[in-house]
Amino acid sequence: MRLIGRRPLEGPKSFLKHRTIPTMRQGVARGLEPKTWNLVEIDLFKIEEMSKFILGRQALNDNRSLGTWTFVSALRKPPTGMVQIPDPIGAVWAPPQITVKEAYDALLTEGLESLIHELGIPYGRVAGDMPWLGRTNRETNAITMRVGAPEGALMHELGHALDNTYGLYRIIATAIKTPEFEGEKGALGELRALAALRYAGGVPTPDFAKYVQKQAEQIANLVHAYLWAPDEAKRVAPRAYDAFESFVMDHEELHPLMELQKMRSVVIAEREATYRLPGPILLGRYYAAPEVARIFTNYLTPGLGAHPVFLVFRKPSNAMVHLKLSFSAFHALTVSIEGTSMAAGRMMRDILHGRPLAAAKQAAKVLVEPIDAAARGHAIRNQYLTTLDPLTLAVDAATNLLIAGGGRVEQSREYTNRSMAKFADNLRRANEAYLRGMHGRALSESTQAAIRLLPAMIEAGAWPILQWFVPRVKAAAAVAEIQKDLEHLPGVPTEDTLLAIASKAVNLTDATLGEVIWDNYFLPRALMSAVQLVIMAPGWRGGSAVMLARGLTDPIRKAFPGQREDYRVRVPVSGGASGGGGGSAPPPTDGASTDADAEPPPPYTTVTVKEPYWSAHTTFLIGQVFVAILIAELYQHYLHHADHPRTVKDVAYPQTGKRLPNGEPDRSRIPGYAGIFYDI
């Protein structure tokens, strides 16, 4: 059962969310149906989900540290030629809430807040980008202040609260119009003049000038001025000031206002508040060079595989390939013969590079290579799947060599329809539905299982060859090729050299044994899907042409030193001064002493060497000829009692000992490249 798809790279991340239904039983009681009733599969689902999340985070961290991903702010244009990472992990969002800090006069602010609390006025602070510094609810008399608002704003809102509680404007207006104050009606002009100071030195908008002259704003401004600028309040509105001060003296609970009027300090305090953003805010995205982004694009996107029209053609095509290559044993014989040819090619490389003992050892394995390779591949697969961290293995361990080259231990998903897995899922779900009395659901699942029965049988028949034998032989052959190339180096390869050798070996194995790992070629997945639909076995056909062309031209091309790739290897330093193999001693590191007491240089130095003259492609062709002649001899002479093979055609198409009506000898097509190379 396939639990999680490739996209998004971090998986669904549902395990990070708060559980709203505590138990599975409660979910079923609510009418919900689990993804599966199998408790083991539920655990596997969560393990796979968490593993995928770890994979995504590792990919992000690795690419950031290597500099292959570049962050670009949402406010800037991406660099020319850079490609956006096609996955949600490439987007960087602001956290849902941020911490906002504010500084304030400790004594004054704490005194104001203490008075508000003693008066029983509801009070709170909120962080955000609201268009106001503070506000007071007329119904509840609650004061709400924006984090970071100045102390004066809190004084102003306190004025609104006092007006709501005591009817302050009515009291002050009545007081300043009594005979004891000169001016009577004109005295209200003081409140208007005091309110106009809110835009002193500036030109207000008509709306703001009208707003500050509202009665509620005038009285709140009087309280603000009384506390913050008492001298200015006395100068502009002496009658209003005296009336408010008289009101305060008459109310004992408001006496702290007279103390707050004098309370100023140099004690600056700081506090924090949490501000929840109004919605998702995109900070920027990660971009990469096209060749880097294509790796993730190919991994995450299905290409044409997501289109039903394409699947209508691909699934029957895969089924026909399974029938043709598996039930006829053609594929198994071809892989066996070509695997043997690769082993013979490794033997020829040892001979041509002057290593007779290694060649003799390799020759002893050539004839049993198919069986030996399957066993080695099975061991490699077990090591690969049971190793949680490849770093715990030696650098030259089979798993690390295979990973370095981009190899795999299982068949790539594009070569299978997963018919067996889907058939088994349908049967399992039908059984679960039947046991729970869901007969309609059981009938539906049983019908789908019946439809998938024939494709599942075809895939089951192909499984031993296509999904067991071939992947194991390929893994073993790739590792053997890497190990053989490493044996021919004069020292320990650097990381870049190891990656280059491993990549060549895996690509050679793809071209030779089929089931190409297309991801290693970094082609657009849609293009790969289209090619596979139009051309049957494109990897094998293309691989045949590449093997023949490279095998014939490499001896000529590599005769020129400039055409041979440079490899970097670490070799022992001889004498502590000069490097072996033509290298030189490494210079001392920055700050290192050059005195006699200085530490000796490292035991190894890095030198550059040319890749061996005899390539794997050429020696494979030589091994192919050797194996083809041997097979032709066994088939034509010993099995069918015909003459010994005498011509190239006899090697490519051995005789059966019979004659055709036209007198020509009857011939057989032996699986493998011999016939293909002859035809080319």
Candidate from 34-43, 203-212, 353-362, 626-635 with smallest mean pLDDT:
34-43
The phi and psi torsions of 417 (rounded to 5 degrees) equal -95, -5
pLDDT in tens, 359-398: 999 998 898 999 999 999 999 999 988 887 787 888 888 8
Round the average pLDDT of the chain to a whole number and report it: 84
Which is higher by pLDDT, 127 or 494? 494
Does pLDDT of 600 surpass 60?
A: no
According to the model, what pLDDT value does residue 438 have? 84
Residue 247: the pLDDT is: 94
Hey, what are 505's tokens?
């070996």
What tokens were used for 216? 């509620």
For the chain, what percent of residues have pLDDT higher than 90? 40
Q: How far apart are CA 469 and CA 463, in angstroms?
A: 9
Residue that has been written with the tokens 């006829």 in this structure: 328
Q: Which residue has the higher pLDDT, 581 or 21?
A: 21
Give the pLDDT of residue 341. Answer: 92
Q: Answer yes or no: is pLDDT of 586 > 50.
A: no
At 604, phi and psi to the nearest 5? Answer: -130, 150
User: Does 179 have pLDDT greater than 70?
Assistant: no
Q: Which amino acid is at 623?
A: G
> Most confidently modeled of 116-125, 513-522, 525-534, 598-607?
116-125
User: Which pLDDT value is given to residue 475?
Assistant: 93
Q: Quote the pLDDT of residue 536.
A: 63
Residue 296 in tokens: 């993730």
Copy the structure tokens of residue 118. 């003693």
Mean pLDDT lowest for which of 233-237, 402-406, 580-584?
580-584
Q: pLDDT by residue (tens digit) across 40-58?
A: 888 888 888 898 999 899 9
Of 3 and 422, the structure prediction assigns the larger pLDDT to: 422
| pLDDT attached to residue 581 | 37
Per-residue pLDDT at 481 exceeds 90: yes
- Give the pLDDT mean for 135-164: 93
pLDDT at 110 (0 to 100): 93
Q: What is the C-alpha to C-alpha distance for residues 185 and 206, in angstroms, rounded to an integer?
A: 25
Closest CA to 630 of 373, 433, 337: 337
pLDDT at 584: 36
Sequence-separated contacts (24+) of 600-605 with Cβ below 8 Å = 600/576, 601/573, 601/576, 601/577, 602/573, 603/572, 603/573, 604/491, 604/492, 604/570, 604/571, 604/572, 604/573, 605/570, 605/571, 605/573, 605/579, 605/580
- Among 29-33, 341-345, 611-615, the minimum mean pLDDT is found in 29-33
Spell out the SS3 assignment of 339-364: HHHHHHHHHHHHHHCCCHHHHHHHHH
pTM of the model: 0.66
pLDDT at 593: 40
Q: How confident is the model at residue 252 (pLDDT cuts 50, 70, 90)?
A: very high
Measured CA to CA, the distance from residue 366 to residue 369 in angstroms comes to: 5
The whole-number average pLDDT for the span 585-598 is: 42
Residue 418, classed as helix, strand or coil, is: coil
Residue 134 scores a pLDDT above 90 = yes
Radius of gyration of the chain from its Cα atoms, rounded to whole angstroms: 41
pLDDT band for position 178 (cuts 50, 70, 90): low
- Give yes or no for a contact between 70 and 287, defined as CB atoms under 8 angstroms apart: yes
Contact present, 626 and 337 (Cβ < 8 Å): no
pLDDT band at 574 (very low <50, low <70, confident <90, very high): low
Paired residues of 84 in beta bridges: 287
475: nearest Cα among 362, 332, 364, 339? 339
pLDDT at 122 (0 to 100): 95
Instruction: Pick the closest to residue 540 from 354, 348, 393, 324 (CA basis).
Output: 324
Residue 588: predicted pLDDT: 38
Instruction: Give the pLDDT band (50/70/90) at residue 218.
Output: very high
Which residue do the tokens 């970094």 mark?
522
The share of the chain scoring above pLDDT 70, in percent, equals 89
Mean pLDDT over residues 68-89, rounded?
91
Mind listing the pLDDT tens digit for each residue in 513-543? 877 777 777 777 777 777 766 666 666 677 7
- Residue 38 pLDDT class (50, 70, 90 cuts): confident
DSSP reduced 3-state for 103: strand
CA-angle at 40, arms to 460 and 31, nearest 5°: 105
Q: Which one-letter DSSP state was computed for residue 329?
A: -
pLDDT attached to residue 474: 93
Residue 433 clears pLDDT 90, i.e. is over it: no
Mean pLDDT of 559-580: 73
